[in-house]
Every structure is written in C-alpha cells, then in structure tokens.
Amino acid sequence: MSTSTINGALVLRLDSLNKDNAAARAAAIGAALGQAAGVLRIELSGLEGPDAAGLAVLIAASNEARSRSLELQLGLPKELSELAEDLRLGKLAVVESLEVLP
Amino acid sequence: MNQGDQEMMELFVQESSEHLQTLETDLIALEATPGEGSLLNSIFRAVHSIKGAAGFFGFDPIVKLAHVMESVMSLLRDGQETVDQDMVTLLISTSDKLRLMLAEPEAAASIPCDDERAGLQAVLDSHLGKKIGPRTPGVVHDAVEPAQQSGGQVGPEAGSYPHEALTGFSFTAASLVEGLKHGQNFYVVRINLGEVQHQGQTLKQFFSEVRSIGSVLDTVLECPADIGLTSAVGVVPVARVFYVTPLEPFILSGALGIEGDQIVEIPSQSLKDWVKATPEGVCAPPPLSVPVAVGSREIVAAAKSPVPAAVESGVSKPAPTQIDPKPVAGQRRKAEETIRINVGLLDTLMNLAGEMVLGRNKLLRLAGGGGAVGDQVELQSIVQDISSVTSSLQDTIMRARLQPVGGLFGKFTRIVRDLSHKLNKEIHLEIFGDDVELDRTLLEGLSDPLTHLVRNSIDHGIERAADRLAAGKSSQGTVRLSAAHLAGRVQIEVSDDGAGMDPERLKAKAVEKGIISADQASRMSDNEAQNLIFAAGFSTAAAVSDISGRGVGMDVVKTNIEKLGGHVELDSRVGQGTRIIIRLPLTLAIIPALIVGCRGASYALPQINIEEIVRPGEDCPLKTIGGARVLELRGQLIPVVDLGEVLGEPSVPCEQFVVLLELDHATFGLVVDEIRSNEEIVVKPLGRHLRLVPYYSGATLLGQGEIALILDPTSIAQGRISAIQKALGTSKTLELQTQPGLDSSRVLVFHAGGVEQLAIHLQHVLRVEAVRAEDLERIGGTECLRKNHDATIRLLSLSELVPVTPPESRPSEFFIIVPRPPYDRIGIVATRIVDSADLPAAQIERGAMAAQGIAGSAVLFDRLTLVLDFSGLIEILAGGSAENQGSLVAEGRFLFTTNPSHHPHHQIKQLPEQSAHS
C-alpha cells in the first residue's frame, strides 16, 4: 500500500482489497480522501480483484468521494475488465486499465 | 428468513415508522411555515433513510415511491417548488402509502399508490416543463432520470420501465433486441456476493461462469443506505443482475447455485411491447445505479437535471385522502415489540446485574460452606445486599419502561390537521407536557381513547368559524392536549374551547334513544346529563360519519380508561368548552398492594384504591339496612361487600376487617377475614382460562412463594353495589352519602311540587331516593314507605311545615330526601331534583322570606330559592301539632328528648337502639 501524486491526482496503490484487510484499506482510503484535491485514484493490482467485502469498501469510497466533490478513479488489471464490466463498477468510479494508466 | 434477518427486518420497520412519524409531524409544521429549511431538510433525510433501508432489503415498491417523493422534496428544499396545502396533502398521502407498505413490506407491491406517484411526477414534470409520451396505465414509472456519471447508456430520453422488477437498471431497447430475436429468457437475478464466496468461488470466477451462459445487461450493487468507510467493514453487497440467457429458470438456478426465489423472470412479451413502443427507448435509474448508496447530492442533481422524463403530462395531484393514521395491526405489532432505552439506563442495569451475580456467588459459597459459625451473620449481610440491588434493579427497569407521552401526542397533529380540513374548521392544537413519562403499556392503551376524545372535540366541540365569530370567539378553535404528574398519578386532559355540551339537549337525545325516561331526565342534574355521553349507544350526532356519531366512542373511552386503572372526569360549560380529564397510575407492572386473607386464601388489593382499614365495632358497626349491609362510620353509611360471599366461599365466624375502597368518587367497604401484609407485587396476567372470570385483574407471587389473585375493586363493586343501591332505593344514595367531607355551604336544590324552588344543605342529607306512589302505604293518615320488615320511612310534605305552596298533584314517581341519622326515618317529599350548588352563608338573604324552618332566600340557577333551615324543620316536627308528634311516637320508632348534649335541638333516637344500648 502506497500513495503518490501524479498529475494532481492522489494515487493509492493497493495489492488487494478483501475481507482480511478491508478495515485497514477503508481507513487508508478515508485518509487519502481527506488529502486528495480533485481526484483520488485507487489502483488495485491483485488479479483476484475485490471480494464482496472489498466491493463494500469501494461503494463506500464512491459515496464519500461524491460527498467531498472528488472524482474517484479505479485502476484495475486488464484481467479484471470483464468483472468490472459485469459488476458495472463504472457506476462507482471512472474505471481504467492499469496498463494504460501513467 | 433466519432469526438475524427477522431482527433486521423488524428494526427496519421500526426505524422507518419513526422516520415516517417525524416526516408527518414536520410536514404539518411545514404547512404552517413554508420554506422552513430545517423542516425541509429533516423531511428529506427521513424519506432518504426509508428509501435506502428499503433498498437494502430489496423492497422495490417502497424504494420507488420514496424515491419520487425524495425528488420532489429536493425541489422544495432548493426552493424550485413552493410548499402549499396541496403539496403537503400530496406528501402526507404519499407518507400514508409508505406507512401501509411498511406494514407488510413483502406485500408492498399490493398497496395502490398510482395517484400519489402520478401527483409527485406531475410536480416534477411541472418543474421540468417537458412532458413526453403517453403514460401506460399500470406501468411503473420513475422520477427524473439524470445522465450517468460515467460510461452511461442513457440517451436523450429516459423512459418508463417495461417491468417493475427492472427498476433501477440502466438499459436500452436496442440491448434487448438480440435476446428477444433469439427467444432467450430475461431474468433479474439477485446474488448475495458473500454467499458466492462461501461456496468457494471468487467473484471473478463466479462472474466468469455467469458470462459463459448468458449476457449481463446491467448490474446494480446494493448496500445499506449511506454506507461510509467506517461502516463498510463487514458489509456484504448484493448484486442485482439483469440477465439474458437461453437457459430455463431451474437450469439457471442450478448452474449458478442460486435459490430459485432469487430469480425473477421478466416476461418477454412485456419487453417486446416496450421495445415496439419505444424502439429507441432508454431506461435508467437515478443518477447512480447504486440506489441504496445514493447520497443527497445526486438527488439534487436529479432534480436540476435538464434530462426530461418519459411521463405523461397534466397528471393532477390526488385529492386529499382520509387516512386513518393509526398504524395497521402488523406494523403496530412490529413497531411496538421494541422500545428505545437510554444507554445510561442499560449501563446501570448491567452494573446491577453484575452485583446480583456477586450476591449469587456469595450465596453459593455460603451454601457450600457446610454451615460454619458466623454464616448466619454473613447470610444476613448478603441478603441485605441482594435486597438493595433488587430494589435498584426494579426502579431502573421501571424507568426503562417509562416512555414520554409526546410520542403519543405527536400523532394528533395529523388527526387535527386532517379533520379540520375535512370539516372546514380552523383548529389549532396545543400540546403541553409531552415529556411526561408513562408506562408503555398504559401509553398503548391510551392511544384509542385519546383518539376518540380528540376526534369528538373537533367534530362536536369546536364550532365552525362563522358560529364562533357570532359567539364572540376567535374564528380559530383550540384543542389542547396536556399531561402532568399529579399526586403520584398522571393526569391527561383533552380540552377544547368549543360550544360545550348542552345538558338539555343531551337529556332529550337520551330520552329519544331510550337510554333514560323523560321523568329521569327531568330529575337529572346538569353534570349527570353531561355524563350521559359515557352511556353505551349515546350520540348526539345527527348523522353517522366516518369521524363520529355511532355512539360507541365515549362508552369505550370510559371502559378502556378504567381497564387501565384510571378514571375519566368531565367538565363542560355551554359556550365555553369541554374538559375531559383522565387520571392514570404511572405503571401497571409493579404496584403496591395490601395482602388480605379470606377463607384461608391470600388476595392482593391495589393500594391505590384503599382509603382506610376499619375493624368494625361499637363505634363503627356493620348493619343491615333494607337487606343491604352497610358500615356506619363517622355518621355515614357505607355499603359493604363480603369478599367471601362475592367469591362464593362459605361464611366462617371470625374477626373481620373492612377495607374501604375508593372508586371514581364512590366508596365501599370490602369485608375480609385478615389483613396480612403490605407488599409491592409484580402483576402477572391471568391465564386464558381465567381471563373471563370477573373480580380478578391478575395474579402475583408473594414473598413466601404463595400465589395470590389480584382483586379488581371496580369489578367487585359493579355487581354488588348496584344490588345495594337497589336495596336502598336509588342510585343517588351512594353518591350523596359517599361524598367525603361535605362542604357546609353545599345545598341540594329541588322542587316540592309547589311554585317555589327550595334548597337544603347537603350536610343534613343522607340520601335521595326515587319513590313510586304505588309503593306508599297509609298508616293513620300518614304516608309511609316500607323499606323492609323493620324500617319505615314517614313522608313529610314541606307545605305542611313551612309556608310554601302545596302541590297541586303528586307525580307517579317522585323523590324523598332522607336526612342523616338520627332523622333518617323521615323523607321530605320532592317532585324534582334540580342540582347541587355552592351557597355560602353570606349569600343567604335572611330578610323577608325567613320564617321558622326557612333560613332565608338566595338566587340559585337563576331563580329565587327558599333555603330550608333544617334545625327549624326538626323543631317544627317535634314541637308541632299533636297529631304529627303522636303519629311518630305511635309508630314506636322515635323518642323525642330534650337532652342538649345529644343535639343542639331536639333529639330523636331510635328506640330499638336505645334499648339495646341501655
């Protein structure tokens, strides 16, 4: 888990998002939302993608980003593009493939 | 549904009901102060919370209705629409429908709400100024559809959903065409993502399978409303997937490992129809396709969005509906099974429970110690500790049961609003003391009676504006609800400043309905006439309406209040208004009681009814008069009932006690064998098999482990006292003789058959009896009434004693006024009882009218009234004609003495008693 700023967007990199680390990840996302100015991008590099608990955290993050007038971006490996499409994660955040992200 | 789900469901219903109550109260307040920001925000939050929670449970009809209401509230909040009476009525009507839906959330779709939805949609249309396409009857419509945040499919027009189960999904007609063309099946599949993982699959694997057997047309992820990052942990989202596949439902169920009831098949025909009607149609939900996770911002965006909605134009708002705000049974059941308790109280309970555990451990240790020396001292110490903790525990739990009456009073804002509109009356509701607390059982029992009273005040009490103005009042009437603590009880008042109750009209109606005879009516006091409203079947309403007029309300009110251990009083003044006062105990669960013994068994008597305990003796003997048992106590005769006889137990000779019980201004004595103890008892309801047995209100377990039945004094009195009243001649008997501490300035106003109105001080009156002429007997030219084998009352006509007009004729039914002992064997004839009244001595004009037997005159009830001098009457009686004196003596019942120590004037003693004591 790490954070950096790229092109004005605060980037939070996570290797996984699941029930085992949901609390810690939620806290980290919350902190990042507090620091971000304009855009927060969450990059999830694990090929498994989020589990149900991780999805709940993403939904919560989407809500809080909206309430703070922030744009939420979600970077996922291309292996997860179908899952993202099936779950319509695009309704929660701007979904992009990690491979095309800077 | 497992137990956890059931509990969550009940919590949902309870919380949503509370939101609705807030919403309703705020809406009514908003009507008075349109544009009040805090109210608008509060209402918006309430609707939003209901919508979110309903979405979590998948109650789509509730979500849809709440959503469109929320959208309208958003417009109001932003000042883009104005609040007026029609708008409030529409929103309240919608709130009613939500309430009905919440009563049975699973069957919410069966609640018709087309009018409300159309009305709200019309508001939205009106705001957007664009109407598109005809509205298909019976088709579910959604509110304004905004553009998607990203990757959206929404085109220039958003339309209505082809099937209710599709609500919330985004799709286009074009996306359906392929599946329809190949005869595939369309489903909405509800997938618990947590269960997927429990089956050993990752989401990626599961959706890979989903994709392999069909196509996902859209997905909606559902989570609890307003889920935040701190509350997200542990939450499991549910995915609703709009899906097309060639598989049949049962095969799909097996393939995906999903229960069949989680799959809803969408009829292809309805989709075909929709596509045919709107080949370029678009369906989309509110701003984001996560309806339950939608925050407030996008709702504002929805309202502001220029994207038009596909709804018909010109939909009118529904007419104001008359909805009974009383929750339906199911909702009430669910909502009332739980109460909210202050956390501090729970902490206290927890501490006390801990102390109880410590006490138990000490006892266990002592019990296992084998009875060592000094154990007794330690045992006493432990028992004291446990006793102290138990008392604290009891107090704390009782406090937890107490709830403010404000929750109950709050619902009347709606009732007053609805009825005042319906009846076209201007009515203002005032509420006082809404923080007064009452046991929740009492609050539940009070709801219906108070509703009756408030409705009656509005319907019958408050006049129409024109009538009020004509009567010199303001056009707006006031109904006041108040609660206050009073001497360990709670007093609740419902009052109004309306027309009051006209006793003469009430009498006439009662006669017309056959409740009383015309003769009885003529003898009734104003207060008695007003109390006729509590008679079963009594109503003065000219027509039965949905508000009142069936004549069951006040009867039920009185009965229900008495069941709660309370009583009702009425104070009404013509032209000024009516007050109805209800007095209730604080709680019914634990009550102080007197434990009495009767024929060997123990019974509990609620102490709230106990006035005094008397051991009968020479000073206060038990007597039998007219076949009725009475206790003579301090110059009053009090009817008594033997508990053993009431319960059908054979009489046993023993020293007895009389417990004097006060009931609603009447006192009677209950004869018991023993007074055993005073205890605070825990009231337990009687089993089903004993519920119909009269005389008992419950049962309790005494300290010694013995079961005691709790006596119901009201029930005992109802049967027995009426029998005593019959034996003594009239129902007025008890009223008069049991009024405690009669004020010496109080007079009884009556007519004796002549033209004069007369008054006699009530301190001299024992009772008033109704008499029928046919029951009289003549003995030596004197009229007598034989009460039983050893008592005869001689009738006296006042015209024979004092200068008043003699009666032209005597009616077939009349009254006798019986003086207090020792003059209780004479009866002064009265043809009509007017009422009682206060008459201070200073107001008696002792001039021209004064004579022997007449103290003077006064104006009472707008008439000149001769006030009798009772002492003077006795003097006349004793020292009058030889014929009168002779007849009294000849009966062998009275002895005239001149002993001033017995009486300031002449003394009349009963010979039998005299001889018995000598």
Average pLDDT of the segment spanning A36-42: 87
Angle among Cα B355, B358, B364 to the nearest 5 degrees reads 145
> B483 or B181: which carries more pLDDT confidence?
B483
Adjacent-strand bridge partners of B708: B700
Region B3-319: CATH code: 1.20.120.160
CA-based nearest residue to A58, from B193, B52, B168: B193
* B609 contacts B716 by C-beta, under 8 angstroms: no
Residues in chain B with CB shorter than 8 Å from the CB of A82 are 207-208, 211
Which carries the bigger pLDDT value, residue A51 or residue B907?
A51
Is a pLDDT exceeding 60 seen at residue B143?
no
Q: How confident is the model at residue B897 (pLDDT cuts 50, 70, 90)?
A: very low
pLDDT at B142: 35
* Residue of A20, A64, A66, A79 to mutate, interface with B, max B Cβ within 10 Å: A66
Q: Mean pLDDT, chain B, as a whole number?
A: 74
Amino acid type, B639: P
Peptide bond between residue B822 and the one before it cis (omega within 30 degrees of 0)? yes
Q: Confidence class of residue B867 from pLDDT cuts 50, 70 and 90?
A: very high
Mean pLDDT of all residues in B657-668: 79
Distance of CA B651 to the CA centre of its chain: 41
Task: Please tell me the predicted confidence (pLDDT) of residue B547.
Answer: 47
The backbone region for B577, taken as left when phi is positive above 0, alpha when psi lies in -120 to 50, beta otherwise, is left
- Which residues does B589 contact at the CB level (< 8 Å), separation at least 6? B398, B401, B439, B441, B682, B683
- Please tell me which residue, B627 or B559, carries the higher pLDDT value: B559
Contact with chain A for residue B848, Cβ under 8 A:
no
pLDDT-derived band at B541, boundaries 50, 70, 90 = low
Strand pairing report for B427-432 and B477-486: parallel
B219 and chain A: CB distance < 8 Å anywhere?
yes
The phi, psi pair for B561, rounded to 5°, reads -65, -40
Cα B461 vs. chain centroid, distance in angstroms?
A: 19
pLDDT score of B349: 87
Q: Mean per-residue pLDDT for B502-515?
A: 85
B693, burial (CB in 10 Å: exposed 0-12, middle 13-18, buried 19+): exposed
Q: Is residue A29 a contact partner of residue B229, using CB atoms and an 8 Å limit?
A: yes
pLDDT-derived band at B495 (thresholds 50, 70, 90) equals very high
> Is B608 in a helix, a strand, or coil?
helix
Question: Has residue B582 got a pLDDT over 50?
Answer: yes
Interchain CB contact of B293 with A (< 8 Å): yes
pLDDT at B361: 83
CA distance A42 to B23: 39
Q: Return all residues near A22 (Cβ < 8 A) that are at least 6 apart.
A: A53, A54, A56, A57, B232, B233, B234
Residue B865, pLDDT > 80, answer: yes
Q: How far apart are CA A46 and CA A41, in angstroms?
A: 15
pLDDT at A43 over 50: yes
B672 has a chain A CB within 8 A of its CB: no
Distance CA B833, CA B751 (A): 7
Q: How confident is the model at residue B451, as a pLDDT?
A: 87
Tally helices (H) and strands (E) across chain A.
3, 5
Percent of chain B past pLDDT 90, that is, above it, reads 8
Q: Output B738 or B11, whichever has higher pLDDT.
A: B11
Nearest residue of chain A to residue B226 (CA atoms): A63
Q: Which of A27, A64, A83 sits opposite B203 (nearest CB)?
A: A83
Residue ranges in B533-641 assigned as alpha helix (H)? 553-563
Helix axes B114-128, B85-103, angle to 10 degrees: 140
Q: B59 falls in which pLDDT band (50, 70, 90)?
A: confident
Write the DSSP string, B435-463. Answer: T-EEEHHHHHHHHHHHHHHHHHIIIIISP
The pLDDT score that the predictor gives to residue B404 is 85
pLDDT at B155 over 70: no
Which of B233, B223, B285, B238 lies closest to B52 in space, CA to CA?
B223
Length of chain B: 918
pLDDT at B488: 56
For B33-41, the CB contacts below 8 A with 24+ separation are B34/B82, B34/B83, B34/B84, B35/B79, B35/B82, B35/B83, B37/B77, B40/B73, B40/B76, B40/B77, B41/B77
Which residues face B907 on adjacent strands? B897
Q: What angle do CA B780, B854, B840 make, to 5 degrees?
A: 135
pLDDT digits (tens, 9 = 90+) for B300-309: 223 233 322 3
In this predicted structure, which of A66-75, B418-427, B627-636, B702-711 has the lowest mean pLDDT?
B627-636
Read off φ and ψ for residue B862, nearest 5 degrees: 65, 20
Confidence of residue B126 (pLDDT cuts 50, 70, 90): confident
**Residue B892: pLDDT band with limits 50, 70, 90:** very low
Rounded CA gap, B32 and B85, in Å? 9
Domain boundaries, chain A: 2-100
For A51, the closest of B202, B235, B295 (CB atoms) is: B202
Q: What is the mean pLDDT of residues B392-419?
A: 83
Superfamily of domain B405-585: Histidine kinase-like ATPase, C-terminal domain (3.30.565.10)
- For residue B233, the chain A residues in CB contact (below 8 A) are 22-23, 26, 53, 56-57
Interval B37-56: pLDDT, tens: 788 888 888 888 888 778 77
Inspect the interface and report whether the beta carbons of B227 and A63 lie closer than 8 Å. Answer: yes
Chain-chain contact of B233 with A85 (C-beta, under 8 angstroms)? no
Domain boundaries, chain B: 3-319, 343-401, 405-585, 590-728, 742-917
Contact criterion met (CB below 8 Å) for B749 and B860: yes
Residue B214 with chain A: CB contacts under 8 Å: none
User: Of the candidates A36, A34, A26, A31, which has an alpha carbon nearest to the alpha carbon of residue A6?
Assistant: A36
How do B674-682 and B696-701 pair as beta strands?
Answer: unpaired
- Has residue B623 got a pLDDT over 70? yes
In angstroms, rounded to a whole number, what is the distance separating the alpha carbons of residues B94 and B391? 48
Residue B851's pLDDT is: 81
d(CA B154, CA B406): 48
Kindly list the residues from chain B whose CB atom is less than 8 angstroms away from the CB atom of residue A87: 203, 207, 219, 221, 239
pLDDT of residue B138: 31
| Architecture of the domain made up of B590-728 | Beta Barrel (2.40)
Place of tokens 């709009």: B242
Both tokens assigned to B76: 């109001």
Average pLDDT rounded to a whole number, residues B754-782: 82
pLDDT digits (tens, 9 = 90+) for B841-860: 888 887 777 788 888 899 99
B681-706 tens-digit pLDDT:
877 777 666 666 778 878 888 877 78
**Amino acid code (one letter) for B851:** A
What pTM was computed for the model?
0.43
Report ipTM for this prediction: 0.94
What is the pairing mode between strands B263-266 and A9-14? unpaired
For residue B301, the chain A residue with the least C-alpha distance is A66
Contact (CB, 8 A) for B802 and B854: yes
Strands (E), B797-891: 813-819, 826-830, 832-838, 854-860, 863-868
**CB contact at 8 A, B609 and B713:** yes
Residue B212, chain A, CB below 8 Å: the answer is no
Of the candidates B354, B442, B436, the one whose C-alpha atom is nearest the C-alpha of residue B393 is B354
Any chain A CB within 8 A of the CB of B306? no
- pLDDT average, residue stretch B904-909: 27
Mean pLDDT, residues B516-537 taken together: 80
Name chain B contacts of A93, Cβ cutoff 8 Å.
150
- Residue B726's alpha-carbon distances to B270, B383, B583, B723, in angstroms, are 77, 53, 29, 5
Q: Distance between CA atoms of B105 and B12, rounded to whole angstroms?
A: 10
For the ranges B167-171, B173-177, B671-675, B728-732, the one whose mean pLDDT is highest: B671-675
Which residue in B218, B236, B290 is closest to A92 by CB distance? Answer: B290
Report which of B179, B139, B146, B144 is spatially closest to residue B163, judged by C-alpha positions.
Answer: B139
CATH 1.20.120.80 fits A2-100, yes or no: no
CB under 8 Å to B845, separation ≥6 — which residues? B856, B857, B858
| Mean pLDDT across B472-482 | 92
* Contact call for A23 and B233, based on CB within 8 A: yes
Which 3 state secondary structure label does DSSP give B757? Answer: strand
Q: Which of B282, B399, B287 is nearest to B348 (CA)?
A: B399
pLDDT higher for B563 or B552?
B563
Least confident residue range of B389-398, B648-657, B734-743 = B734-743
